[in-house]
Amino acid sequence: MSTYKLIYFDLRGKGELARLILTYQGQEYEDSRFSMDQWPEIKPKMPFGQVPVLEVDGKMFSESVAINNFLARKFGLYGSTDFEMVEVDQVVGITQDMWKVIVDWVHENDETKKAALQKENEEKNFPKYLDFFEKILKTNDTGFYVGNQLSYADLAVFDALDIEVPDSVVDRFPLVKANRERVRTNDKLKDYIASRKEATV
């Protein structure tokens, strides 16, 4: 039986999707969180000086995408056919594009520029990506992004929407909204989701 340890800041950010995958699977793991003040001490101990890091049986792995892909494959959440796998990758790729605009907003220190980026995200960027998701859900017609059961794709979109996308934007896309609620109320996830801290990138 393998042992898992996820090392990340005490916030959601780039570590949360791995937590969601592990929680959905019912896999026990050590959720090793630390504060910003502790980071200078921890950073030199990480493989590439960054987090999240997943430790499996004492072996450390870095890069959030690699970690999430590994866990999704390991626990059967990556689709059951080659076509489903590329469909999962397609959805996850869109969420990564969303993360880019979110991170640009987070890292902007000029308040005027930050406000402009937020306006652009809410009026242009987020609706564009959610429209992609809506079309995928409509085409698949199962309530899930890929196949007929919850997968890595659903968890990745839930995670991306959960950070800075206002409900007023999500409400315009009924299939996306319904899928998000399906994830939020999943028996394997609902207690963990309900007990989390407020979202922080």
What's the pTM value of the predicted model, to 2 decimals?
Answer: 0.95
Q: Is residue 87 part of a domain?
A: yes
**In this structure, what CATH number is given to the domain that contains residue 39?**
3.40.30.10
Specify whether 48 is located in the same domain as 137.
Answer: no
Specify whether 104 is located in the same domain as 176.
Answer: yes
Alpha-carbon span 51 to 10, nearest angstrom: 11
Inform me whether the pLDDT recorded for 11 exceeds 60: yes
Specify whether 95 is located in the same domain as 58.
Answer: no
* Angle value at C-alpha 135, between 134 and 139, nearest 5 degrees: 120
Return the closest-CA partner of residue 84 out of 157, 154, 180.
154
Alpha-carbon span 46 to 48, nearest angstrom: 6
Q: Domain count for the chain, please give it.
A: 2
* Residue range(s) defining the domain that contains residue 43: 4-75
Kindly report the average pLDDT of the chain as a whole number.
95
122-152 per-position pLDDT tens digit = 999 999 999 999 999 999 999 999 999 999 9
Specify whether 102 is located in the same domain as 159.
Answer: yes
Query: Are the C-beta atoms of 52 and 7 separated by less than 8 Å?
Result: yes
Return the closest-CA partner of residue 176 out of 139, 147, 137, 146.
137
Specify whether 92 is located in the same domain as 39.
Answer: no
Specify whether 35 is located in the same domain as 91.
Answer: no
pLDDT-above-90 percentage for the chain = 93
Inform me whether the pLDDT recorded for 68 exceeds 80: yes
Q: Indicate the pLDDT class of residue 199, thresholds 50, 70 and 90.
A: low
